[in-house]
Chains A and B, each alone.
Chain A
Amino acid sequence: MSDAAGALREPWPNLQLQRQGVGLGMWMFLASEVLFFAALFCGYAVYRSFNAEAFRIASAHTEIVYGSINTVLLLTSSLTMTVALRAATVQLRGLTLFCLAATAALGAAFLVCKGLEYHEDLKQHLFPGPHFPLSPPATQMFWGFYWIMTGIHAVHLTGGILVVLLVFTLFKRRTVPVQGSTMEGVAIYWHFVDSVWLVLYPLLYLAGRP
Chain B
Amino acid sequence: MTDVTLPFAPPLDAGGGSYLDEGHTILSWLTTTDHKRIAILYALSITLFFFIGGVAIGLVRLELISPTGLFLTSDEYNRLFTIHGIIMVWFFLVPSIPATMGNFILPMMIGAPDVAFPRLNLLSWYLYVGGAAFTVYVLLSGGVDTGWTFYPPFSSDYSHSNVIAAAAGVFVVGFSSIATGVNFLATIHMLRCPGMTWFRLPLFAWSMYVVSMVMVLATPVLAMSLLLISAERYFGLPIFDPRAGGDPLLFQHLFWFYSHPAVYIMILPAMGVVSEVFACFARRRVFGYGFMVFSLMTIGVVGFMVWGHHMFVAGQSPLANLVFSFLSFIVAVPSAIKVFNWTATLYRGHIGFEAPMIYALGFLGLFTIGGLTGLFLASVPIDIATTDSYFVVAHFHTIMVGGTVSAFMAGIHYWWPKVTGKLYNEFWAQFAAITMFLGFNVTFLPQFVMGWLGMPRRYHYYPDVFQIWHILSSGGAVILAVAYLMPLVYLTWSLFYGEKSPGNPWHATGLEWQTPSPPPKSNFLRPPRVNAEPYDYHDFGRAEETGDESRARPQGDAS
B227 contacts A by Cβ under 8 Å: yes
Residues of A within 8 A of B (CB): 10-11, 13, 17, 20-21, 24-25, 28-29, 31-33, 35-40, 42-43, 46-47, 50-51, 54, 127-129, 136-138, 140-141, 143-145, 147-148, 152
Q: In the complex, A21→B221 CA distance in Å? A: 25
- Give chain A nearest CB distance to B61 CB in angstroms: 36
Decide: B238 and A28 in contact? CB cutoff 8 A.
Answer: no
Q: Are B221 and A11 in contact (CB under 8 A)?
A: no
- Whether, in the assembled complex, B113 has its beta carbon less than 8 Å from a beta carbon of chain A, the answer is yes
Q: How far is the CA of A35 from the CA of B181 in the complex (A)?
A: 15
The 4 closest A-B CB pairs, nearest first, are A144-B237, A36-B220, A39-B224, A138-B245
The CA of A51 and the CA of B246, in the complex, are separated in Å by: 10
Q: Which of A24, A33, A141 interacts with B220 by CB under 8 Å? A: A33
Q: Indicate the member of A29, A33, A35 with the most B CB atoms within 10 Å.
A: A35
Nearest-neighbour CB distance to chain B for A37, whole angstroms, equals 8
B10 CB to nearest A CB, Å: 13
Q: Is the CB of A141 within 8 A of B239?
A: yes
State whether the Cβ of B496 lies closer than 8 Å to any Cβ in chain A: no
A-B contacts, CB under 8 A, total:
129
Tell me whether A28 and B236 are in contact in the complex, defined as CB-CB below 8 angstroms, given that A36-B224, A39-B224 are known contacts: no
Chain A interface secondary structure, helix, strand, loop or mixed?
helix
Say yes or no: B114 contacts A129, CB within 8 Å: no
Given A128-B236, A137-B244, decide whether A10 and B228 contact each other with a Cβ distance below 8 A: no
CB pair A21–B190 under 8 Å, yes or no, is yes
Which among A10, A128, A141 is the interface contact of B118 at CB below 8 angstroms?
A10
Residue of A whose beta carbon sits closest to that of B231: A148
User: Which residue of the partner chain B has the closest CB to A137?
Assistant: B244
Please determine whether B245 and A42 come into contact, CB atoms closer than 8 angstroms. Answer: no
Q: List 27 A-B contacts (CB under 8 A).
A: A11-B112, A11-B116, A13-B7, A21-B190, A24-B189, A25-B186, A28-B182, A28-B186, A31-B216, A31-B217, A35-B221, A36-B223, A36-B224, A40-B224, A42-B253, A46-B250, A47-B247, A50-B245, A137-B243, A141-B239, A141-B244, A144-B231, A144-B238, A147-B231, A147-B235, A148-B228, A148-B237
Are A140's CB and B244's CB within 8 A? yes
Band of interface residues on B: 35 or more
Residue B340 interfacial (CB < 8 Å) = no
B245 x A137 contact (CB < 8 A):
yes
B30 within 8 A of partner (CB): no
CB of A21 within 8 A of CB of B186, answer yes
Judge if B183 is at the interface, Cβ distance under 8 Å. yes
Q: How far is the CB of A61 from chain B (nearest CB, A)?
A: 16
A17 to B112, CA, bound (A): 14
Interface string of B204-230 (1 = CB under 8 A from A): 000000000000111111011101100
CA distance A37 to B221 in the complex (A): 8
Docked CA distance A129–B244 (Å): 11
Q: Which residues of B contact A10 (CB under 8 A)?
A: 8, 33, 113-114, 118
Give B150-195 interface residues, CB cut-off 8 Å to A: 178, 181-183, 185-186, 189-191
From known contacts A36-B220, A51-B245, A138-B244, infer whether A43 and B254 are also in contact, taking CB-CB under 8 Å.
yes
Contact status B183-A25, CB under 8 Å: yes
Contact present for A38 and B221 (CB under 8 Å): yes
Which of A17, A141, A152 interacts with B238 by CB under 8 Å?
A: A141
